[in-house]
Structure 1
Amino acid sequence: MNTYSLAIILVIFASFFQGTFGLGMKYIAPLKWEAWWLIQSFVAMIAVPVIWAFIVIPDLCGVIAATDSNTFWTAALYGFLWGIGGILFGVSVEKTGISITYGIVMGLAASMGCIIPLFQIEGAFSQPSFPIILVGVLLLLVGVAITAVAGVKRDKLKSSNSNATNKSIKLGVLIAVASGVLSAFLNVGFSNAAPVAKIAVDNYDVSTQNASLASWVVVLIGAFAMNGGYAIFRLIKNNTWSSFKVNNSKKAYMWAVVTGIFWFAALGVYGQGAALMGDLGPVIGWPILLGLALIISNFWAYRAGEWNNANGPFRILMGGLAILITAICILGYANY
């Protein structure tokens, strides 16, 4: 198997985790959201990436210590900004519903997370694959938009009443746009943390594939500062520390840990695949990851019966997923 084929397989494998980890969020009760989120984010953004990186990188602390401070703080800042996007996602859902929010956020996160790293590459416009990448990203946006429309039509069939006013919907859409742009910064941070991985490769003889984990450790320090910090703020504000001791919470704790493991498994495996793709790895791999994750998450939704009695919207969904698959194939070919 050649290197590029392995890279694509890794990204496909990562998309399974990305499209599946959200299932665990159905099992937050009886814990309060902030208690569950603190555990999940610590496992996802600190425990798993640090442990995994320590296993495959002989001197992780030495790698990070040798990193230029500007690179370190820039990558961590992008992780922090992504964390803000995650919080805004929840606010938008409350105002506009999951379908509209998810469609906007996924589309912007996939496209912006691809285009920004591309433009940061010297001579991006002269890249032979540049027009192919643009076609792939545009098709991806169309596919995401169609799946969002299908979701909205499905929700209308299930509920003819809407509690949101037009004003709150417009505000929710604006918040979703902000969330989508900020959500792209997770991949931008990974791309900008490439010098961290280079130190691991050059100075510690770590494989390119495993060195990517050092990049994630730096980015996710910033991500956890936002996510963990916000959860602690909620715990203090709502005085919900006692939630950690609530009865019958064993299942919620288990799913918080499992969700955290799956969340970083997606990023860790994706990072390895993107590293094997070379300079265009974050450009090509990121939209493939999110596009496939959207397909997988809809598969789980179908299995859970969320598309029952919605034949018309389901046909629209199938058309959107077909376009997504076409876009993914084009993006995969762009760096071949």
Structure 2
Amino acid sequence: MDAYSLAIILVVFASFFQGTFGLGMKYMAPLKWEAWWLVQAFVAMILIPVIWALIVIPDLFNIIASTDSSTFWTAALYGFLWGIGGILFGVSVEKTGISITYGIVMGLAASMGCIIPLFQIEGAFSQPSFPIILAGVLLLLIGVGITAIAGVKRDKLKNKNEDSNNKSIKTGVLIAVASGVLSAFLNVGFSNAAPVAKIAVDNYGTSAQNASLASWVVVLIGAFAMNGGYAIYRLAKNNTWSSFKVKNSKKAYLWAIATGVFWFAALGVYGQGAALMGDLGPVIGWPILLGLALIISNIWAYRAGEWKNANGPFKILIGGLAVLITAICILGYANY
């Protein structure tokens, strides 16, 4: 098997984790959100990345210590900005609903997270694959938009008797746009942390595939600073520290840990696949990851009965997924 075929397989595998990890968020009770989130964020952004990286890169901390400070702080800052986007996602859902929010955020995160790293590559416009990448991203946006419309129509069928607050929805859409742009910075941070991986490869003999984990450790330091910091702020503000000791919380803790493991499994495996793709890895791999993850999350939603008695919207969804698959094939071809 050639390296590019393996890269695509790894990104497809990663998309399964990306499209599945959110299932654990349905099982937070009886823990408070902030307690559950702090556990999940620590496992996802600190514990698993560091342990996995140390297993394959014993010199991890020496590599990070020898990284140029500007590279370190830039990558960590992008991770921090992504963390803000994640918080805004939750706010938008409350005002707008999951379907509209998810469609906007996924579309912007996939496209911006692809285009920004592409433009940071020297001579990006002269790349032979440039027009193919743009066509794939445009089609991906169309596919995400169609799936979002399907979700909105499904929700309208289920909430016929509920009045909508147009002002709240408009505010929610603006927040979702901000969330989508900021969410793209996770991949931008990974792309900008490439010098960390290069040190691991050049100075410590690490394979490019494993060296990608060192990049994630740096980016996720910033991500945890935002996510963990916000959870601790909520714990202090609401005085909910006792939530950690609530009875019958074992299942919630297990789901928090499993969610964290699945979340970083998506990034870790994606990073390895992107590394095998070369310089265009973050450009090609990221939209493929999110596009496939959207398909997988909708499969889980279908199995959970969320599309029951919504035949019309479900047909629209199938059309949107078909467009997404086509876009993913185009993006995969762009770097072949």
Q: Partner residue of 2:279?
A: 279
5 Å-filtered alignment, 1:1-336, equals 1-162=1-162, 164-336=164-336
Distance 2:165 2:3 in 1: 52
Residues 1:227 and 1:282: Cα distance change in structure 2 (over 3 Å): same
Shift of 1:302: 0.3
Distance 2:169 2:79 in 1: 28
Give the AA of the match of 1:56.
Answer: V
User: Which runs of 4 or more aligned residues in structure 1 lie more than 6 Å from their structure 2 counterparts after TM superposition?
Assistant: none
Distance 1:280 1:256 in 2: 33
What are the Cα deviations for residues 44-101 of structure 1, in whole angstroms up to 9, with x where unaligned?
Answer: 0000000000000020011000100000000000000000000000000000000000
Distance 2:192 2:217 in 1: 13
Distance 1:135 1:221 in 2: 34
Shift of 1:160: 1.2
Distance 2:36 2:325 in 1: 34
What are the Cα deviations for residues 269-323 of structure 1, in whole angstroms up to 9, with x where unaligned?
Answer: 0000000000000000000000000000000000000000000000000000000
Give the AA of the match of 2:332.
Answer: G
Contact 1:96/1:164 (8 A) holds in 2: no
Shift of 1:165: 1.4
Give the AA of the match of 1:169.
Answer: I
Distance 1:113 1:212 in 2: 17
Give the 3-state SS of the residue equivalent to 2:279 in structure 1.
coil
Give the 3-state SS of the residue equivalent to 2:278 in structure 1.
coil
Q: Percent identity among equivalent residues? A: 88
Give the AA of the match of 2:78.
Answer: Y
Distance 2:310 2:122 in 1: 48
Shift of 1:164: 4.3
Give the AA of the match of 1:219.
Answer: V
Give the AA of the match of 2:115.
Answer: I
Shift of 1:225: 0.1
Give the 3-state SS of the residue equivalent to 1:247 in structure 2.
coil
Give the AA of the match of 2:65.
Answer: A
Give the 3-state SS of the residue equivalent to 1:288 in structure 2.
helix
Distance 1:301 1:191 in 2: 31
Distance 1:19 1:142 in 2: 19
Give the AA of the match of 2:52.
Answer: W
Distance 1:159 1:166 in 2: 15
Give the AA of the match of 1:220.
Answer: L
Give the 3-state SS of the residue equivalent to 1:309 in structure 2.
coil
Distance 1:55 1:111 in 2: 33
CA RMSD across the alignment: 0.5
Give the AA of the match of 2:335.
Answer: N
Query: Structure 1: which 5+ runs fail to align?
Result: none
Give the 3-state SS of the residue equivalent to 1:280 in structure 2.
helix
